[in-house]
């Protein structure tokens, strides 16, 4: 599965801990991330991550394009709800695209823990079935 990992500045450490804790699950999938987050994940875990621009420079929109092309299966976006984000419209657009294209998206560590375990158990395999029907 194609998984995007995104974290606001104050949530990057949480994303590093999450990626480290679930490295064995994540390494079985194709990982994407916005710039700094992807670099930090790679450095901490040795996981291979395809990096986009940082969020404010268009990374959120690049992930959104993958969603629109049906080339993304899961978004783990650790958002900081207490800090204003200058690119909030891009974030809202990304979340809207997830809803439009039926892409599972979680925005906090609790949701990420649940969805990564569901991924491990095969509960997101329906994404593969949907793709096969479209092909």
pTM exceeding the 0.85 threshold for the entire prediction: yes
Task: Give me the domain span that covers residue 64.
Answer: 2-134
Q: How far apart are the first and last CA of the chain?
A: 16
* pLDDT attached to residue 84: 87
Query: Averaging pLDDT over each range in 71-75, 87-91, 130-134, which range is the top one?
Result: 71-75
How far apart, in whole angstroms, are the C-alpha atoms of residue 122 and residue 74?
Answer: 13
* pLDDT attached to residue 135: 67
Weakest mean pLDDT among 37-41, 45-49, 50-54, 125-129: 125-129
Rounded to the nearest 10 degrees, how much is the dihedral formed by the CA atoms of 107, 126, 58, 18? 40
CB proximity list for 70: less than 8 A, separation 6 or greater: 101, 131, 134
Please report, for the domain that includes residue 130, its CATH number.
Answer: 3.40.50.1380
**Which member of 9, 46, 60, 90 is catalytic?**
60
Is residue 60 part of the annotated active site? The answer reads: yes
How many domains, the chain? 1
């Amino acid at each position: 599965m194609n998984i995007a990992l995104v974290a606001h500045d104050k949530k990057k450490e949480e994303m590093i801990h999450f990626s480290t804790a679930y490295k064995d699950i994540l390494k079985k999938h194709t990982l994407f991330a916005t710039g700094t987050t992807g670099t930090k994940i790679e450095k901490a875990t040795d996981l291979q991550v395809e990096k986009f621009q940082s969020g404010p420079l268009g990374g959120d929109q690049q992930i959104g394009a993958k969603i629109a092309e049906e080339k993304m299966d899961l978004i783990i976006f650790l958002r900081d709800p207490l800090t204003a984000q200058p690119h909030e419209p891009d974030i809202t657009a990304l979340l809207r695209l997830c809803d439009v294209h039926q892409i599972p998206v979680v925005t906090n560590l609790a949701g990420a823990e649940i969805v990564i375990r569901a991924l491990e158990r095969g509960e997101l395999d329906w994404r593969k079935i949907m793709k096969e029907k479209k092909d």
